[in-house]
Amino acid sequence: MLSRAWLEVDLAAIARNAAAARERAGVPLIPMIKADAYGLGAVPVARALEASDPLAYGIATVTEGEELRAAGIARPILVFTPLLETDMEAAHRARLTPTLGFAAEIDAWKMYGSPYHLSIDTGMARAGVPWREMSSIRAAVERNPPAGAFTHFHSAQLDDGTMEEQTGRFRDAIEQLPARPAILHTDGSAAIVRHERSPWNAVRPGIFMYGVGSGDTAAIQPDNVVTLKARIVELRWVESGDTVSYDATYTAGSRRLVATVPVGYADGYPRGASNAGKAVVREKVIPIVGRVTMDMIMLDVTDTGAEVGDKVTLIGAGGALDAPTDVASVAALPDLPPYELLTGLRGRIERVYRRQAQ
């Protein structure tokens, strides 16, 4: 029996979300499974995504690629963080495809005779050759042509014109290359939702696959993927005027039944949800009371009939209608991006994978 806390990961939902992204974009996927698939497990997620016939997988480090290769993942794997020259041999051994942006690294990679994608900076100012400086890599690209080229939008979720501006810069940059690369890609999750059909020939879904959309008015919505559950380990009555947890930030206004669940910010549940977050027990939405502590959270379960051992849903689908426990809602409490919440759910929480369509 799962006795403390566990994270349910719906692999079938990930596959459905990937399929929805592909249908929306009309082109093959390069699913982003970096950071251990946003904390959900890169190997099981990659295996679940095989049915979508992805063009490649996207990661951030050579070590991540080596893990996937050791697990038998054979498709192309793109490393989206720039490589040091000292990492190139390991990347080549693991049959990884680096993303390169400067003449020296393009020339250094040439000795391996392996493909790479050209990284073009159109405004993110994080990685790749700046779009204004395409002439600086022309000779290197002629010596070692890229298999693909891409850019990264900094504000694709905003309707502020910057995505269109960056797209124009990318088009101009591509036109300055000696030859057009075979694979071009710009769109992550937010851009996929906004574009409907990709203007290129691949897209890079990330957070959408893991169950986080682009708002209630977005054209497509993902299925829920992540559910964080725990069990009630203690119950106690507190009297009117009693306080709960560190700093006594909660004071009971009447006699209340308080449950303790063994999850805290050391597990990745945000401390910013103190006195603000909700949970679901026995189909009822209940409040978090007091500070979220390192290893425990207290809940007001008065009038729920809750007992020690009952399951509590802290994140995800809890069964109660309109429960504000989805990833985006929980992340919003401490003003975190959903990415940070997902990747912060710690390894000491057991992962349970569901593979059947719900």
For residue 15, the tally of other CB atoms under 10 A from its CB is: 21
Q: Is 246 assigned a catalytic role?
A: yes
Of 34, 229, 250, 265, the active-site residue reads 34
Chain length of the chain: 358
Q: If DSSP states are collapsed to H, E and C, what string results for 113-171?
A: CCCCEEEEECCCCCCCEEHHHHHHHHHHHHHCCCCEEECCCCCCCCCCCHHHHHHHHHH
175 vs 173: CA distance, rounded Å: 5
Q: What are phi and psi of 170, to 5 degrees?
A: -65, -45
For residue 186, the tally of other CB atoms under 10 A from its CB is: 25
> Residue holding tokens 């002439």?
135
> Which ranges of the chain would DSSP assign to H, the alpha helix?
11-25, 34-39, 42-49, 62-70, 88-93, 103-110, 138-143, 162-175, 189-195, 327-332, 338-344
> Residue holding tokens 């399951």?
311
Q: Give the list of residues 6+ apart from residue 108 with CB closer than 8 angstroms, or none.
A: 85, 88
54 vs 27: CA distance, rounded Å: 10
Strands 97-100 and 77-79: parallel
345 vs 351: CA distance, rounded Å: 10
Residue pair 162/179 in contact (Cβ under 8 Å)? The answer is no
Of 57, 110, 112, 246, the active-site residue reads 246
Residue pair 256/238 in contact (Cβ under 8 Å)? The answer is yes
Type of residue at 292: V
Q: Is 269 assigned a catalytic role?
A: no
Hey, which residues are catalytic here? 34, 246
